[in-house]
Amino acid sequence: MKFDVELVGKIGSMALIDKQDNMIDYTRVARLSRELKPGYIWISSGATEIGRLDFMMRAGRELPDTEDSKTDYAAQGQAILMQTYRQYVDSKYSVRQILVEHHHFNDPVKREHIKKLLLRCKEQNAIPIINYNDAVSQSENRRMEIMALSRSQAEVHECIDNDETASLVACLVKAETLLILTSVDGIYADPNDPSSLIEEISGKDAYELVENIEHYKKFCEGASRKGANGAKAKLEYVKEAASQGTRVLIANGKYTIGQVLSGNVRCTKICIR
C-alpha cells in the first residue's frame, strides 16, 4: 500500500499535564515538539484542561462545572497550547493550527478540503496541529446534528474524542503509522495489572484483525479522566485505520516518538501481519 503521510500522532490531555504541579508539562511538550517534522500530522488534546488550569492560576478559582465553562476553558487553553508548540517546534518549520468539527468528516466536500490542506502542509514544510473546536461546539446542538445525519448516512462521525479524530485523519491521508500517546503504556487485559499489557493485536488480513480487536475490547473498561471514553473506545476508533494497513501504536506519552516508533519501549501494536 502506498502511504501519503508518514505519521499521524495524537496525545491525550492527561499525558500533557504535570499532575504534581497542576500545570502543562512543558518538558514533555518541548520534547515531542522537537520531534515533529513535515510528513507528521499532530492531533493534540489538552486545550480545555490547560485553559482550566490557567484560569485557576489567574483568577484563584474555578468556573462552575457546566458546558459553558468548558467552552470558556477551551477558548483560553487553545492559545496557550499553540503558543507552546510554536515555541518548541524547530523554527525552520511552519506550524498550522487546524480546528475541526464533526461536520468536516461527515461531508465529502469538507472532508476532501481538509485532506488537501493536510497534504499541502507536507509539501510546504509545515506541521499541522489539529484539535476539536470545542470553543464553538455546543453539545446539545451537536447531538441533534449527529442524530439527523444518522437518518441519512450509514456511518456518522462525532469527532468529540480526539482518538476518533486521529483515526479518521489517518484514514483520510493514508498514514503509514497512527501513534496514540496516553498516560499508560497501552491496552491491558487487566487494567489493574501492569504486567497484563497486550503488546500486539494482529491478524493475517483485515477481517481477522478486526475480529481480534473485538476480542480484546472485552477486557477494556475505565478511562484516564472524567468524560474520556477509555481503552475500549480507542480500539473501536482505530479499527478502520488498522484495517487499511496503517500500523497503530498505543503508547505512553512519557516516551519520545522515536522510542515508540523504533520499538524500544513497551506499547500496544495493532497491525495486519
Residue located via cell numbers 497501552: 186
Q: Check residue 223 and give its pLDDT.
A: 47
Lowest mean pLDDT among 66-75, 216-225, 255-264: 216-225
C-alpha cell recorded at residue 237: 476508533
Q: Which residues pair with 268 in a beta bridge?
A: 250
Kindly report whether the global pTM for this prediction surpasses the value 0.85: yes
| CA 192 to chain CA mean position, Å | 24
Which residue from 14, 38, 4, 69 is spatially nearest to 252, judged by alpha carbons? 14
Q: Check residue 230 and give its pLDDT.
A: 80
Cα–Cα distance measured from residue 116 to residue 167, given in angstroms and rounded to the nearest whole number:
17
Cα–Cα distance measured from residue 215 to residue 187, given in angstroms and rounded to the nearest whole number:
12
DSSP single-letter state for residue 188 = B
State the chain's mean pLDDT as an integer: 89
Q: How confident is the model at residue 27 (pLDDT cuts 50, 70, 90)?
A: very high
pLDDT for residue 147 is more than 90? no
Which residue from 234, 238, 247, 218 is spatially nearest to 184, judged by alpha carbons? 234
DSSP single-letter state for residue 229 = -
Q: What is the pLDDT of residues 199-243, one digit of tens each?
A: 999 999 999 999 999 999 988 764 444 444 588 899 999 999 999
Mind listing the domains of the chain with CATH numbers? 5-46+85-272 (3.40.1160.10)
Residue 170, SS3 per DSSP: helix
Torsion of CA 249, 252, 255, 259, to 10 degrees: -20
- Looking at per-residue pLDDT, the higher value among 242 and 133 belongs to 242
Residue located via cell numbers 477486557: 219
Q: Check residue 228 and give its pLDDT.
A: 44
- Looking at per-residue pLDDT, the higher value among 232 and 152 belongs to 232
pLDDT for residue 146 is more than 60? no
Q: Check residue 227 and give its pLDDT.
A: 40
